Structures are given as structure tokens and as C-alpha cells.
Structure 1
Amino acid sequence: MISLVDRPVYLFNGDVLCERSEKVGKTEVESLMSKAGLAPDANALPTVPGTGTMAYGIIDSHDTSDGKGGLRLCFDKLTSHDITYVGVVQTAIACGLTEFPVPYVLTNCHNSLCAVGGTINEDDHVFGLSACRKFGGEYVPAHVAVIHQYMREMMAESGAMILGTDSHTRYGALGTLAVGEGGPELVKQLLGRTYDMARPGVVCIYLKGAPSPGVGPQDVALAIIGTVFENGFVKNKAMEFVGPGVGSLSVDFRLGIDVMTTETACWSSIWRTDEAIKEFYGVHGRPEAYKRIDPDDVALYDGAVVVDLDKVEPMIALPYHPSNAVTIREFVENPVDMIEAVETETAKVMENSSLRLGLMDKVVDGRFTVDQGIIAGCSGGTFENVVAASQILDGADTGAGKFSLSVYPASQPVNMELVSNGSIGKLMAAGAIVKTAFCGPCFGAGDTPCHRGFSIRHTTRNFPNREGSKPGDGQISAVALMDSRSIAATAANGGILTPGTEFADRLEPVPYRFDGEVYGKRVYRGVGRPHPEEELVYGPNIKPWPEISPLPEDQLLLMAAVIDDPVTTTDELIPSGETSSLRSNPMKLAEFTLSRKEPRFVGRAKVAQALEDCRKKSVADGTPLPDDLAEILSLVGEHVDVGRIGLGSAVFAVKPGDGSAREQAASSQKMLGGQANVAVEYATKRYRSNLINWGMIPYVVEHEEQGKFRAEDWLYVPGIRKAVQEGSTEIQAYVLRDHERVPVALKLTDLEKEDRDIILSGCLMNYYRDCSDR
């Protein structure tokens, strides 16, 4: 089904793969070049991976570095949704924003229910509209479109680059190199600064063959994710989709695979474009946005993922990660071992051995049953996915039992066409509930299952508790990811897990007609037309960022959380779901930091924060140190300069930051006095960037040193400010416990000068203010 080539490979004429290794002789290479219609000259081949790739072609056209050092990228367009845009705009204003310099789209698809928290969600929306009017942006009201569907339909362009504050910012199938990052990276673009990084590796995703009827884009995506996530094969690299199999896929099918590339931990994705993409842009009234994108006649990649589409089967990603993927056939044939593995993982990730999903109870007469099906969002709610579900459910009956099915079309234009061609009627007649464009089921703000419920979803993630349950309150439920075709097949079978291939004979292509009239009537389009005289509209919950101190000369950090899990998601660092209502109030949101993973974190962090307040007061007015602070400082040594040292908190995690791009995973720690994370490695670039932009040092330690960290110990880092200033790559620190000093080497890796300057200033806002004061 899928194989990996873990060495450089050539792609000849966009069609023929050739490994670059000692095992492949010159004669064989030249034979493959001839097969691809190229002049056979192995001596003329490039030797630098990335050469001739689509990714590098687009990157180089957006790079302002003149080839000196790392990349300095300027994006063409920006986008945020209503969990992130208030923080972005507030930060940019604090840094001197006067108008949006490039098209910036604010959508309202995460906090759009406005069902909890009183007026605060709609207050955010009003703020967003006022920001688009004042600074010149584009505003998409609630229920009109989910962020990525709107960007596909109205903003993507072949050869362009788009930056979004959502991790699933992926429009590669349309020829757009799109990146999901935390808010501060987008703030830099709003202020005319650049997105800085080293050149990424590029991995060839070579597609061949064609999917079997009943196999959908989620199946292909989960098969790829299951193959490459754990081994980090494409981590922080660009995935480049090529090969003859691309042409066998419809545009919606490509989009469905593409949006899931985020779950591989890659940096971005790009696909070759063709007549199908040209038709997509034409249907959406933007033919000028199309451009043919292909690799050069010879392209060199860091490696390859070879996907035989013919062999992909319907897949299910079991809890608690999209990479936990197996075929539905394997699961149905032998559920017992897999169920026990999920139950074991449940006890581990919930850190409560008494909580069990009770999945064996769902095996009835040898068949596995589920409680709920959801088809929604940027991955599931596209036109073809919903049409396929309606065809499978045409004349069927989802039943009056425990099983329920909800369908969320991804935009109003998609919904209108589904109504027009009868698909919505078929779904409703079968018992499905059809709702508006909304991302909530993907992150726990809608359709939370019952206690011990098992939901199958064509959405993007199935992390622990992401669906909205609260294990701290004794609640537990779980999500498995599947394609809409298999979800509909399961619904047609009354909730018995069923692959979509069993209903393949019902599936047939249906043409799509786009009517953008609803956008013309509801979307505020103010790009390039700012109204600086207008005022921003602030609701009572929208609070500014508090004053943040610069990096001290020495750090004394309370280890407020020590997490030994192999991977820690951003959902565990700051819960999604109901807490999204507080995203415009940084101090209130901070109360939920690590609440589901380490409930003691907030209390511990506040202890360190209170001690730091006492230290500052003592330095300012000469008052004696409180006894508890003096006792802690005595751990450092007899002669402590209280004017040099800064107290705060830190988190240790083996591999933190998988998942969402939202900056609150870092900023919430900062609001409680967080000064650092310590990790063996960081799961994603975007989380590490969030830490840096919030002035938190992303320390790295060797794997064998992780056992030195225990919760409630103190980490003393003498001379840290000098080390950051001087560009040191390692600093000697000490874990302090019971008057014992345990030495530990902290690495300061891959920090560019601007990264260090931001850390020295305390955060990005301070850095820009400091720059303007010079």
C-alpha cells in the first residue's frame, strides 16, 4: 500500500522515480532518464536535495534573503479564525499596526455557536468585523464557511503562499504553499517583517494507480499518516505530491488528503496542478488564479513516500491519534486485541486506571457498534464527501436507537448545491441531522458524545478529550477517524462498523456548480480599503496582554509539570472546546493550562509567580525577603543577588507541541510566569516558534537526562541572559532538590539572532517596542 524510500531520489519528467544511491549505477540511471524522455546524462544531475522541486520554486519566489543565510519569507495572504484573530490583532496593535498590508481573512467557524459564555463569542465577532473595517480586511460571518473551505474557494492561487493561524492551513492541492503557525508569526507579516526558517527538506509523495470505489480521501490520508508520523519521516519538511496517480483523483479528493498532511508533522504541502485544478478555479469564478505547477524535468528529493492508491483500503484511526491507523477490515476481523490496546492507552493518557471506555461492550454478535457519526469541517464537509454519504444513505434508515449522524457542509455555497441536487434531502430522509458550516466537532465544541461513547468522524483529529469529555469529572469518550463513505456505510447499517467499499455500487460522480452569491451578500470585503478613523469595538471579555518582563540575568524555575509521555499535544497543553470562549481573555484562559493533563500545574505556576512578585517588591523598596522565598533562594547558594535572578515556572515534556498551531498553548504558560520548556525534541516548528515569540526558551536535553526532572524541583540556570546574548548553544544548569545540585546540560539549538533578541526582550511585543525605541 505504502512504502518509504529513506534516501535521496530523483524524479524524472514528473513521472519516473530513481533512487540516488551507490546501489543504482550510472547505466540504470541513464536508462530511467531515457524512459522519462530525457537526455541520458547522469553526470549532469543535481546533487542538492530540493533542486527542481515545486516547493523550492515557490519558496524562492517569496524569499527576500538574497540567498544569505536562512529563508526570509513574505506571504501573499493571511487568514485567522475566531479563536485566534483577536489575539493576533491585539498583539499587532501593541506592536504598531496601522493597516493590513496584505489580504487578511477573518473567519468565524470555531466560536460560532455563541452558546456558552454569555455575549463573549459574538463580542469577538463584532471586534473582528470592526478590525476588518479599520485596517482593511475580509470578514466571513459565522456559519457561512469554515476557514479552509473559504480560502480554497476564494483566496488560494497557484504559486502563492498563505500563512494562517490554524494548523490545517493547507491548500497545496490548488498549487498554494500554505503554512499554519501561531499568531505571532502572522503578526510579523502584518508588520512587514518576514517568516524566518532554514530551508526545509522536501519529500516526494509519489502517487500511482487509482483508489477503489468506496475508498475516500481520508482513507488515503490516514494510511500515509500511519506510515510516516511515528518515525518522523516528513517532520518539518515539505510534502510534494507527484506521480501519475495525481491525475486519477478529483480536486475534492486531493483537498481531502492535503488538509490531513498536518497530522504527519510536516511543514507544508504542494501538489502538481493540471486541467482539473484549472477547472476548479474556473468554476469558482477565478480562472486567473490558475497556473501550471510542476517539478522541473529533474527534481531531487530528500526521500519518497510511494503510495499505491489501488491497494489503499478503508481505514480507521483508533484513539488517540490520527497515526493509530489500521484498515477497517483488520479491526472488524480481530477487534479484541486492538480494543485492549486502546483501553490500555486510555488508562495511560487519562492517568486514571479506573476510567475505561468499555469498548468490548460495543461488540454485539461479533460486530463492533458505534454511538455517533460526524462528517464535518475542512476535511469531511466538502461537496464530494457529503454527496457520497447521501448516495450511500439514499433510501436507508439510520434508526431510532443510540446511533446518530450529523453532517456539516463546509460552506454555504457547498450547502446550497447539496440542497439543489437533492443530497441534503436524502441525508435528512435517512435520519441524518444537517447543520451549518462549523469546525466544532473537530475540537470539542459541538456533538460531544455521551459518557463512554464512541464516535466515528471525518474530521482532522482524535486526540484525548478533544471531543469534549472531561476525565477529571469522571467523563470519558473517544473518537476514531474514518472517511465519510465508511461513516455513511456504518450509518446505513444502524451503527455497525462498515467499510464504504460495501456500498461502492451506489457511488457515482456528481458535477458541482458554485454560486458565490451568498458571499457577495454576507462577506465584508474591505481589503485595500481601511477606515482608520473608525474605532475597534471591544466587548467586556476582550482583554489586552499584560506587561511582560524581559529575560533575567539568571533563571530559577519551578518545574510545574513533568510529562513523560512520548508525545504531548497542544490540546493537552491548553484544552480545546469550551475554553475557546476565553481565547480573548489571556488571564482567564491561563487558568485552564494543562488542566486535563496536569491539574496541579496552575497552582504550582502561581506559587512561583507570587514568589517572583515578592522578589521584585524586595528589590524595588528594600523590604526583607519573605521566609519562604529566602529558603528557596538558599538552594541556589549563600550569596544570591536577588536583583539578577528571576523566578518563574517551566514545563518538561519529552516531545511537546503536536497538533494545533494556536499560540495559547505557549502564551497561557507565559501568563502564569512561564519562562521555558525543556524537551528532548519539539514535535513541530510552530509550537517551538510560539515559545520563542512569547519569550520562553525552548531548551533541549539529551534523552538520557530526562530522568533528572521531577515536578516541584527547581531548575537554576545561571548566566542565561549572557548566554543568549552571546549566542551560546549550551549552558550548564542545575536541578535543585533537598539541598542537592544535579547538573544538567541545556541546549540552545537553532536560535537565530532575532529569536534570541525576542527572548531577551521577554516576548515579541516587547521586542518590537524595544526596536521602535531605539
Structure 2
Amino acid sequence: MVKLYDKGVYLLNGTEIAEDARQVEQKTGQKISREEAVKQTMAYRILESHNTSGNMERLQIKFDKLTSHDITFVGIIQTARASGLEKFPIPYVLTNCHNSLCAVGGTINEDDHMFGLTCAKKYGGVYVPPHQAVIHQFAREMLAGGGKMILGSDSHTRYGALGTMAMGEGGPELVKQLLNKTYDIRMPEVIAIYLDGEPRKGVGPQDVALAIIGATFGNGYVNNKVMEFVGPGVDKLSADFRIGIDVMTTETTCLSSIWKTDEKIREFYEIHGREGDYKELNPGAVTYYDGMVYVNLSEIKPMIAMPFHPSNVYTIDEVNANLEDILHEVEKKALVSLDGAVDYSLQSKIVDGKLYVDQGLIAGCAGGGFENICAAADIIKGKYIGADEFTFSVYPASTPIYMELVKNGAVADLIESGAIVKTAFCGPCFGAGDTPANNAFSIRHSTRNFPNREGSKLQSGQIASVALMDARSIAATAANKGFLTPATDLDVQYKGQKYHFDSKIYANRVFDSHGVADPSVEIKFGPNIKDWPEMQPLPQNLLLKVVSEIHDPVTTTDELIPSGETSSYRSNPLGLAEFALSRKDPGYVGRAKEVQKAQKAIEADTCPKTALPELQTIMSKVHDNFEGVNRSNLGIGSTIFAVKPGDGSAREQAASCQKVLGGWANIANEYATKRYRSNLINWGMLPFITEEDHEHLSFKNGDYIFVPDIRKAVEDKDEVIHAYVIGDEITELSWKLGELTDVEREIILKGCLINYYRG
């Protein structure tokens, strides 16, 4: 089904695999160097055309377009304004698909929308009102272009199927683009995703995506690399099918994605009135890839990602055949994910030997596409979900899709079955819509199924489970009144209805400045929109208190700053910080604030030991063992340890909330994603790496760690950072910061990106 190559491979004419240079010479009669073959990837060519450094090993990328939604654009624009923003230098689209409901915090969500509209007018941007489209569908319909690059402040910024290299990053990276700066990375490795065969009837894009995620996430095979989709199987897939696979590449932790393009993609652009944005993309005659994932589409079966990660995959047939054993395995994994905070069991979901599901959902950038919903409607037509616990909701990804589904009768078929069809909204993906009941089991064609992602709260004793599935098998389960059913079990005649895009829907409602700024416009600020607090530059010496210690194999950004109701406070740095780690370590905020008192005392030129009496002994030992340390050259703050933090969302607040609460660093064995590490750096936090086994650390929660001459170490590009646990004895630690660009070092030294641009 899926095979990973253990070394680099060559691809000849986009179809034939050669495992080494000798085979290439035998098949082509030519000697071609690996260095030349590397340059024949589609990814290399696109990156080269956007690189401003003149050095393809160290890229400085300028993007063609930017896009954000309403829980990120306020912070981004506020940061950019504080750094000198005058106008948007490239098209910047502000969508409103996350805080659309305006249901939490009074007026504050709609205040954010008005902020966005007035900023689009003032700075020359595009504003998409609530319920018009989810961020990524609007980008597909109106922004993508062959050979282009788009940067978005949402992790699922993926438009590779349309020939666009897109990346999801934390807000500060968009700020850099708004200030005419660059996105700086080393040239990423490129991994071929070789698609062969053709999907069987009833198998959808989520099934293919989950199979790939299951094969690549755990081993980091594509981590921070570009996935390049090639092979004869691509030709067998519709544009919508490719898009559905592509959006889920984020869950492999890759950097970006790109696909070869053909007449089906040209037709997509034609349908949307943008044929001129189409560009044919193919790898070169002889192309070298740093690895290859071979996928036989013909062998893919309906899949399910069981709680609590998209990589926890099985075939639905496996689950149904081994129900008790697999549920027991999920329960064991949950002991780690949930830290034993709640009693968790799935055994009650077994009814008459079958798995009963409480909720089915097709939504968002992954599930809400036209073909997915049409297929679901074909499956459910003439059937009924029943009047028991099971519910079924469908969210088309844009109003133009919704309109076409109304016109072709799909919405009528869904509603007649008992489904509820709702407007374009990302809420079900992060716990702000269709939150299931306590102990309920929800199947979703959406992007993630992390703990609490659907809205439950461990600290309140609430837990529900989410499994990821394709829209077709969700509809089959709905047709079977909630009992888990793969779509391949049903004999369905799929109509294959053609899509017609109504451009008037956006033309009549979306504000587009066409790049013309109007400085006379006054920005509307609601009372919840706050400026960033002042942040100090990195001091010469640091005293860090460990205030949280997380030993999960991976820590998600949802755990670092939860989604759901917290989304309404993302325009308020101090208000949002109150929620940091609240579902993972509820005591974190209080402990961090206690330490922050000492730093504030230093800033006020008073004694930190008065603000935090426990420092009396610690500071005495520091003074006894390290010369020249005083208030003028010392910073005191908090840090957390996590084995592998940062999987999941691009949200910068996973880092900024720690900084707002006085955090100076993270300590980790490794960082799950580039974007989380970048977020730390952009907020002036040190991304320390320790090679100690996480179960045998030389420090623990509550310990103080002194890092002498850290500022000089950053300036001098020291490979090893020496730190010391201040306890009954002084214990030396050796950490690393990993590779940092000169700009990243300067940002850390200045204290954050805002300070860096202020000079």
C-alpha cells in the first residue's frame, strides 16, 4: 500500500524509478550528476524563482501573496504596525472563518472583524466576511497560481495540488513579509510522493492522506521537507481529490508540498475564471529526490485515524474485525495523551459487536469540498440517520460550493436524511462548533483529532474522542445510523456532478482594495484588542525556573495554548496568556507569574529577592559561584521542558503566551516543527536542545537553572551552551541552540521581532 525508500532515488521522465546513478546511465545512456538532477524538482525551480539571496543553500524567500484568518490577523497587523507598517506590499487576504460565530466574549469577535475590514481598507488588502469561505478554500478559488508561493498564518496552508507552493507559519513570519523582509531557511530536502494505480470506488482523499500520514509521521520521514507528488496515479485523480490529499500533508510535519499539474488542474482554473493562473509543472527528465514514498492507490482501503492523532491509523475493516483489541490499544495510548486526568474508555461504544458512533462531521478545508459532499449526498440519498444519539453535520468550504450544492440537489438529499448543512466555518476543526457530548465518539472529515481538539476540557472532567475518516465512509456510517461502515461496503451510483463556480458571490460581498491603500481610514479597535506588552532584550545572564515538565512523546500547540473558546482572546496578549497550558498543566500560569515578579522587580530597579523570597538562597549560590552577576546584567524568567513540542497548528501564541508570562526559553529533546521553533525565536525565546534522556534529566520542575553569559554565547555563535542547576550542588548542563541565522540571533538578542524592527 505505502512503501518508504531508505535512500534517495532518481525519477526518469516523471514516471520511471531508478535507485542509483548507475541505473540512470543504463536507462538513459547519459551520465548526469546528482547536483544537476536535484535542480530538476518542481520545488527547486519554484524556490529558486522566489529566492533573493543568490545562494540556493540558504534561501531568502519573498512570497507572492499572504493570507490569515480572524484569530491570527489582528496580532500580525498589530505587530507589523508596531514595527513600522505603512501598507501591505503584496496581496494580503484577511478571512473570517474561525471566530465566525461571535459566541464567546460578547462583542470581541465581531470587533476583530471590523478591525480586519478597516485594516484592509487602510493598508490595501482583501477582506472576506464571515461565512463566505474557509481560509484555504478561498485561497484555492481566488489566490493560487501555478509556480507561485503563498504564506499563510494557518498550518494547513497547502495549495500544492494547484501548482502553488504554500507554507503555514506563525504570524511573525508574515510580519516579515509585510515589512519587505524575507523568509529565511536552508534549502529543504525534497521527497517524491509517487502515486501509482487508481483509487477504488468508495475510497476518498482522506483515506489516501491518512495512509501516507501513518507511514511517515512517526519516523519523521518528511519532517520539514517538501513533498512532491508525481507518478502516473496523479493523472487518475480529480482536482478536488488531489486537494483533499494535499491539505493533509501538514499532518506529516512536512514544510510544504507541490504536485505535477495537468489538464484537470487547468480546468479547475478555467472553472474559476482564472485560466491565466494555470502553469504546467513536471519534474525534469532526470530528477533526484532525497527519498520516496511509493503509494499504490489501488490498494488503499477506507481508513480511520483513531484518537488522538492523525497518524494513529487503521483500515476501517481492521477496526471492525478487531474491535476490542484496537479500542484497548487506543485506551492505552490515551493514558499518555491524557495524563490520567480523566477516566477514559471506549468499550461502551461496542453495541451488538459493532462500533457505534455518536456524531459524523464533514467540514472545513479538508472535508468541505464539492466532490466530497456530492459523494456523501449520493451515499445518504433515500436513507435516514435515525432519531437516536447519532447526529450528522456538513459544512461546505465556501458559499460558492454551498450554492452549487443547493442547485444540484445535494443539499436537499442531505437534509432529507437528517443531516444539518451549515455555512463555511472552521470551528469544528478546533472545538468551536459541533462539540460532542462527554464520552461521545465523533468521526470527522477534518484535519486533526488531538486531545481536546473538539472542545472537551480535561480539567473539567470532560473528554470526547475524535477519529478522522473520509466523507464517503462518514456518510456510509450515517446511512447505517451510526454504526461504523466503510463506503466500499455500499453499492452506490456516484453521479459525478460537474461544478459551476458563481463568481458574483464574492464580487458582491468581498472587499478588495486591489492593492490600493487609503491612509485616511481609521482603524476600528474593540476593547479586547490590546497592544503587545513591552519586552526586554536578552540579558547577559539568565536565571530560569522550570515551571512545567512534559514527558509526552509529542506536545501539540493545542496543548501549549488551547483552541476553542480561547480563540476569542487572541487579540489580547495578556488575556490569552491566562489560558497557556491550561489543559495540560493548569498550574503553569500561576507558577510562571510568580517568577515574572522577580523580572519585573529588576526592571523597576528593585530587589528581585523581595518580590520572590525563594530567590534568597538561589541568588546567594549564584553569587558564590559566578563572578560579576548583578541586577544590571541578570534576567529572571521561566522555562518549560517538553520532549518534542510544537506539533500541529502554526499559532504563534503557543510561544508568545509563554513570553508574555515571562518565559525566556524552551528546553526540548527536539522541536516537532520548524514553525514552532521559529515562533519561539521570533518572540525572543531561546530554543534550547538537550540530549539528555527525558526520563533521566538532570533537572526537574521547580528547579532553577543559571545560564551565564548567554548573550555573549548567542553573539559568538557558540555551539554548546553551558548551564547550571542551582540546587544543593551545582550541576552543569550542556545544551545547544541548533542552527540560527544571523537575523534570528539578532531577534533573540533584541528580545523579540518587534524590538528588532524598532531598532
Aligning the two structures, in what range does the TM-score lie when normalised by the shorter sequence? over 0.9
Q: Is the aligned partner of 1:718 residue 2:684?
A: no
One of 150, 156, 161 as aligned partner of 1:168 = 156
**Counterpart in the other structure of 2:383:** 396
Q: Is the aligned partner of 1:768 residue 2:744?
A: no
CA contact (8 A) 1:562 1:709 kept: no
Change (3 A) 1:113 1:298: same
Q: Is the aligned partner of 1:758 residue 2:738?
A: no
Equivalent position amino acid for 1:636 in 2: V
SS of the equivalent of 1:348 reads: helix
Q: Is the aligned partner of 1:700 residue 2:689?
A: yes
One of 210, 227, 248 as aligned partner of 1:260 = 248
Q: Is the aligned partner of 1:281 residue 2:269?
A: yes
2 CA distance for matches of 1:717 and 1:223?
44
Change (3 A) 1:604 1:624: closer
One of 600, 614, 617 as aligned partner of 1:631 = 617
More divergent stretch after superposition (66-75 vs 562-571):
66-75
Equivalent position amino acid for 1:435 in 2: K
One of 96, 101, 120 as aligned partner of 1:132 = 120
- 1:204-240 deviation per Cα after TM superposition (whole angstroms, max 9, x unaligned): 0000000000000000000000000000000000000
Q: Is the aligned partner of 1:334 residue 2:322?
A: yes
2 CA distance for matches of 1:144 and 1:99?
25
Equivalent position amino acid for 2:717 in 1: G
Aligned positions of 1:373-412 closer than 5 A = 373-412=360-399
Q: Is the aligned partner of 1:438 residue 2:425?
A: yes
SS of the equivalent of 2:227 reads: strand
Change (3 A) 1:624 1:596: closer
Alignment TM-score, normalising by the size of structure 1 = 0.96
2 CA distance for matches of 1:201 and 1:380?
29
- 1:561-616 deviation per Cα after TM superposition (whole angstroms, max 9, x unaligned): 11111100000000011100000001010001011111111111001101112233
**Counterpart in the other structure of 1:658:** 647
Structure 1: gaps of 5 or more residues: 34-38
- 1:29-70 deviation per Cα after TM superposition (whole angstroms, max 9, x unaligned): 344x3xxxxx421x2243467321000000000000012751
Equivalent position amino acid for 1:364 in 2: V
Aligned positions of 1:69-468 closer than 5 A = 70-352=58-340, 354-356=342-344, 358-468=345-455
**Counterpart in the other structure of 2:594:** 607
CA contact (8 A) 2:553 2:644 kept: yes
CA contact (8 A) 1:459 1:481 kept: yes
- 1:546-569 deviation per Cα after TM superposition (whole angstroms, max 9, x unaligned): 100000110101101111111000
Equivalent position amino acid for 2:653 in 1: Q
SS of the equivalent of 1:643 reads: helix
**Counterpart in the other structure of 1:6:** 6
Change (3 A) 1:688 1:504: farther
CA contact (8 A) 1:213 1:507 kept: no
Structure 2: gaps of 5 or more residues: none
CA contact (8 A) 1:72 1:196 kept: yes
Alignment TM-score, normalising by the size of structure 2 = 0.98
Equivalent position amino acid for 2:619 in 1: L
- 1:158-207 deviation per Cα after TM superposition (whole angstroms, max 9, x unaligned): 00000000000000000000000000000000000000000000000000
SS of the equivalent of 1:329 reads: helix
Q: Is the aligned partner of 1:616 residue 2:611?
A: no
2 CA distance for matches of 1:390 and 1:625?
63
2 CA distance for matches of 1:309 and 1:711?
48
CA contact (8 A) 1:161 1:178 kept: yes
**Counterpart in the other structure of 1:522:** 509
1 CA distance for matches of 2:610 and 2:259?
64
C-alpha deviation, 1:622, in angstroms: 11
C-alpha deviation, 1:415, in angstroms: 0.3
**Counterpart in the other structure of 2:731:** 742
Change (3 A) 1:187 1:62: same
SS of the equivalent of 1:710 reads: coil
1 CA distance for matches of 2:46 and 2:317?
40
C-alpha deviation, 1:625, in angstroms: 7.5
1 CA distance for matches of 2:173 and 2:392?
38
2 CA distance for matches of 1:622 and 1:281?
62
SS of the equivalent of 1:505 reads: coil
1 CA distance for matches of 2:551 and 2:263?
49
- 1:628-660 deviation per Cα after TM superposition (whole angstroms, max 9, x unaligned): 433331242336422211000001111100000
Change (3 A) 1:353 1:611: closer
SS of the equivalent of 2:191 reads: strand
2 CA distance for matches of 1:68 and 1:524?
38
Equivalent position amino acid for 1:751 in 2: L
SS of the equivalent of 2:585 reads: coil
1 CA distance for matches of 2:609 and 2:138?
58
Equivalent position amino acid for 2:534 in 1: E
- 1:659-712 deviation per Cα after TM superposition (whole angstroms, max 9, x unaligned): 000100000000000100011110000000000000001011114376223111
Equivalent position amino acid for 2:14 in 1: G
SS of the equivalent of 1:304 reads: strand
Change (3 A) 1:752 1:487: same
CA contact (8 A) 2:597 2:608 kept: no
CA contact (8 A) 1:45 1:298 kept: no
More divergent stretch after superposition (334-343 vs 324-333):
334-343
Equivalent position amino acid for 2:670 in 1: E
C-alpha deviation, 1:741, in angstroms: 1.7
**Counterpart in the other structure of 1:29:** 24
CA contact (8 A) 1:177 1:269 kept: yes
CA contact (8 A) 1:251 1:277 kept: yes
SS of the equivalent of 1:708 reads: coil
SS of the equivalent of 1:6 reads: coil
CA contact (8 A) 2:594 2:612 kept: no
1 CA distance for matches of 2:410 and 2:158?
27
Change (3 A) 1:481 1:615: same
CA contact (8 A) 2:595 2:612 kept: no
One of 666, 670, 674 as aligned partner of 1:681 = 670
C-alpha deviation, 1:431, in angstroms: 0.3
Equivalent position amino acid for 2:492 in 1: D
1 CA distance for matches of 2:490 and 2:405?
20
Aligned positions of 1:523-562 closer than 5 A = 523-562=510-549
CA contact (8 A) 1:618 1:625 kept: no
- 1:116-171 deviation per Cα after TM superposition (whole angstroms, max 9, x unaligned): 11000000000000000000000000000000000000000000000000000000
SS of the equivalent of 1:506 reads: coil
Aligned positions of 1:561-600 closer than 5 A = 561-600=548-587
Change (3 A) 1:753 1:414: same
Q: Is the aligned partner of 1:480 residue 2:470?
A: no
2 CA distance for matches of 1:49 and 1:342?
44
1 CA distance for matches of 2:699 and 2:130?
45
CA contact (8 A) 2:669 2:690 kept: yes
Change (3 A) 1:275 1:628: same
Q: CA RMSD in A?
A: 1.4
1 CA distance for matches of 2:520 and 2:741?
38
